[in-house]
Amino acid sequence: MVHFDEADVDHNRVVTAFSGQPQQIRETLFATASEAFARIDMRKHTGVHPRIGALDVCPFIPLDGPVDPNFAPSIAEELAGAYDLPIFLYELSETGKHAADLPSLRKGLFEGLIVRDLEPDYGPKSANRRLGATVLGIRDWLIAMNLNVQTRDPSAVKGAARELRHARDAGEPKLKGVRALGLLLESLGITQVSMNLTKPDETSADAAIEWLEARTGPGVPELIGVIRPEDLPKATRLPVSPEQVVR
């Protein structure tokens, strides 16, 4: 089983990645959720990254063959019942009740979620006032990465992220499937473009980084979570530790 954790004070969130057989995944997830839910109160939470809940998003990514289509719904149903928690199925598990993508489901953040009626796939139709809601489901592989820029002025990274999204939507092949947000990391005195490469088989991490640096100036890339061996030839700018490579 691969297991990797990463956190920082500005995002105020923990990225945890682990792999294993279905029963191992279920047990590890419920143990992780129990620890998080005992400690996190979303009414007191702040952070620069969009979020709607204490267990904000929980993706399951098949590494070796198909996954039982009932795997994600069964976990969602059990988790929702145990914690009185609204759960939205997304990506390959989405059922047509709502948006399928994470950015759309996070619109309004926790603060907006808590004041409106919801249509989750499981759980109550209002947010848990302490835990918020969770987005969960099977999705395709993606690469999560950042470009850190040595300036306190967020306008450059916010503008670059906005330009990237516009170029992607206009059909720029180097940016196919790239999502980007510009953020200020106050404690470090720097800014950051936070990215997800949702089509890593078609998009190069190195090319996306170079495209951004042409607009922000030189930056320091970092990998968040894990990466596949086949992604490494197109991600030479990313520092990768051995435990981050899924084999």
Alpha carbon separation from 174 to 120, 127, 152, 181, 229 (Å, rounded):
35, 38, 28, 17, 20
Q: Is 56 left (phi over 0), alpha (psi -120 to 50) or beta?
A: alpha
Name residues whose C-beta falls within 8 Å of residue 127's C-beta, 6 or more positions apart in sequence: 52, 53, 86, 110, 113, 114, 118, 133
Q: Which of 3, 49, 98, 166 is catalytic?
A: 49
Q: Enter the tokens of residue 227.
A: 């990466």
Looking at residue 89, the DSSP 8-state letter turns out to be E
- State the sign of the Cα–Cα–Cα–Cα dihedral 76, 81, 82, 85: positive
Beta strand 3-8 with 87-89 is unpaired
Task: Examine the residue annotation and report whether 45 is marked as an active-site residue of this protein.
Answer: no
The rounded Cα 71 to chain-centroid distance in angstroms is 20
Residue with tokens 């490494």: 232
Strand partners, 6: 15
| Catalytic residue set | 49
